[in-house]
């Protein structure tokens, strides 16, 4: 099936150009997106810049596909720069790098071969020359000369070109931290596609990210520098947000986010990078109902100490069902201080026990959690101390950074035999 058929299928709705190419408008769109058909592309770029750009977009290449062009990266000249694009029909990434353009043109190059080759080239500069008749790209650097068989750029699915006017803007550092604090809690079970995404809600100047997998829930809120005009509620694939956090540089000041009308998509724009993704259809669970409204025990511990204890317990717990017991002891005096005893055991490996100093407000309690889940949330908490709020051994626990009300994590308990 060609990309035109795929674009009009329910699986993929990036229908930038749905009609035939007979109209002048479509001709202009294709000239802007792909470059002049049949042109001899001749470009020189720095090897480090090309390698970096390929490393960014390669994450969107489809590893297994029946459409050969999806295993390729689009290489096209674009207003004095070189544009690299890749897509798996669900997510697309585009990166622009500086280049010396001698002749305009475009093609698609096998992603893995091209990236591996560029990483090993000996020279500081790389010269790319395309023969449009044979679709062979000559790659020359230093004493190395290589010919790569390509696929015509006209076979590559067009990525969205959204109007970024009125886009939501958020600080890069803040948004990366938000993503990192929720994305790990999203499900990887394809039978529950809604939970494989992150709920993004915007209301005025408040933005909220939430992710859950049925066993845990992460919620992070932040205040925007200026209110957003319209309320937003969308489910973005967790993988797309994880990739955005990976490729976004702290040197970039702002991330722009826009939801093209009636496209079912989201587009993020950085200085030299764009990431687009299909949204997930469906209704995200009402996570507010999952969050306990009170507690009988609130335990304050050092984040670093508890994380270290969990990592030790996980060595033993991973051989079984990842169960770690937290015995919260409310001290009655200076002679008997409050503490948390973290323990795990395995018939094959042995047992582990670590005691961490704590301040306990309320009753003592013995509760068990999946230690992997506990370790993952502690790894994204930035404050020196963390609070664990519990009600009963069979009730969800709530984990909060002490002194930071913008984040919370709910984790379901595990049965203790």
User: How confident is the prediction for the chain on average, in pLDDT?
Assistant: 89
Q: Does position 327 have pLDDT exceeding 70, yes or no?
A: yes
Decide if pLDDT at 185 tops 70.
yes
Phi-psi region of 395 (alpha: psi -120 to 50; beta: other; left: phi over 0): beta
Confidence (pLDDT) at 62:
86
Q: Would 3-84+94-155 and 168-286 be classified into the same CATH topology? A: yes
Q: Which residues pair with 206 in a beta bridge?
A: 203, 223
Mean pLDDT of 380-384: 97
Cβ neighbours for 417, distance < 8 A, ≥ 6 positions apart: none
Q: For the segment 19-40, what is each residue's pLDDT rounded down to a tens digit? A: 333 333 333 333 444 444 456 8
What does the pLDDT look like over 92-129, one tens digit per residue?
999 999 999 999 999 999 999 999 999 999 999 999 99
pLDDT at 17 over 50: no
DSSP symbol at 66 = S
- Rounded distance between C-alpha atoms, residue 277 and residue 241, angstroms: 9
Percentage of residues in the chain with pLDDT exceeding 70?
Answer: 89
Please give the pLDDT value at position 225.
87
Give the model confidence (pLDDT) of 199-230 as tens digits.
999 999 999 999 999 999 999 999 998 888 88
> Domain segments of the chain: what residues?
3-84+94-155, 168-286, 291-411
CATH for 291-411, options being 3.40.190.80, 3.30.390.50, 3.10.150.10, 2.40.110.20: 3.10.150.10
Tokens 């209110």 found at: 227
Pick the CATH number of 3-84+94-155 from 3.40.50.10280, 3.40.50.720, 3.40.50.10320, 3.10.150.10: 3.10.150.10
pLDDT of residue 65: 83
Q: What is the mean pLDDT of residues 62-80?
A: 92
Do 393 and 287 touch, CB atoms closer than 8 A? no
Residue labelled with tokens 């973290």: 342
Domain covering 168-286: architecture: Roll (3.10)
């Amino acid at each position: 099936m060609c990309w035109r058929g795929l674009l009009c299928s329910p699986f993929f709705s990036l229908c930038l150009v749905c009609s035939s190419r007979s109209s002048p408008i479509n001709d202009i769109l294709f000239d802007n997106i792909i470059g002049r058909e049949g042109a001899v592309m001749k470009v020189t770029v720095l090897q480090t810049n090309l390698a970096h750009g390929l490393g960014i977009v390669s994450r969107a290449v489809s590893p297994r596909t029946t459409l050969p062009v999806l295993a390729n990266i689009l290489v096209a000249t674009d207003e004095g720069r070189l544009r690299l694009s890749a897509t798996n029909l669900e997510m697309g990434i585009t990166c622009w790098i500086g280049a010396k353009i001698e002749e305009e043109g475009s093609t698609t190059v096998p992603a893995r071969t091209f990236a591996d080759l560029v990483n090993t080239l000996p020279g500081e500069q790389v010269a790319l020359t395309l023969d449009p008749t044979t679709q062979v790209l000559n790659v020359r650097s230093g004493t190395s000369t290589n010919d790569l068989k390509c696929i015509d750029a006209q076979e590559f699915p067009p990525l969205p070109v959204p109007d970024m006017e009125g886009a939501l803007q958020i600080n890069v550092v803040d948004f990366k931290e938000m993503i990192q604090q929720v994305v790990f809690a999203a499900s990887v079970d394809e039978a529950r596609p809604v939970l494989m995404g992150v709920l993004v809600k915007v209301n005025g100047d408040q933005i909220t990210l939430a992710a859950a997998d049925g066993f845990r829930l992460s919620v992070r809120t932040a205040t925007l520098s200026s209110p957003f005009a319209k309320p937003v509620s969308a489910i973005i694939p967790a993988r797309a947000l994880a990739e955005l956090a990976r490729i976004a540089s702290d040197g970039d000041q702002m991330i722009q986010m826009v939801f093209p009308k009636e496209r079912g998509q989201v587009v993020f724009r950085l200085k030299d990078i764009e990431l687009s993704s299909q949204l997930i259809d469906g209704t995200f669970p009402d996570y507010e109902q999952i969050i306990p409204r009170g507690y009988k025990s609130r335990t304050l511990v050092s984040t670093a100490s508890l994380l270290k204890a969990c990592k030790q317990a996980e060595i033993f717990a991973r051989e079984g069902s990842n169960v770690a017991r937290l015995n919260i002891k409310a001290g009655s005096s200076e002679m008997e201080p409050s503490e948390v005893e973290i323990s795990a055991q395995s018939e094959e490996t042995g047992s582990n026990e670590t005691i961490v100093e704590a301040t306990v407000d309320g009753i003592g309690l013995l509760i068990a959690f999946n230690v992997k889940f506990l370790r993952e949330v502690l790894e994204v908490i930035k404050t020196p101390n963390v609070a664990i709020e519990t009600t009963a051994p069979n009730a969800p626990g709530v984990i909060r950074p002490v002194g930071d009300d913008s984040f919370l994590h709910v984790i379901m308990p595990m049965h203790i035999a």
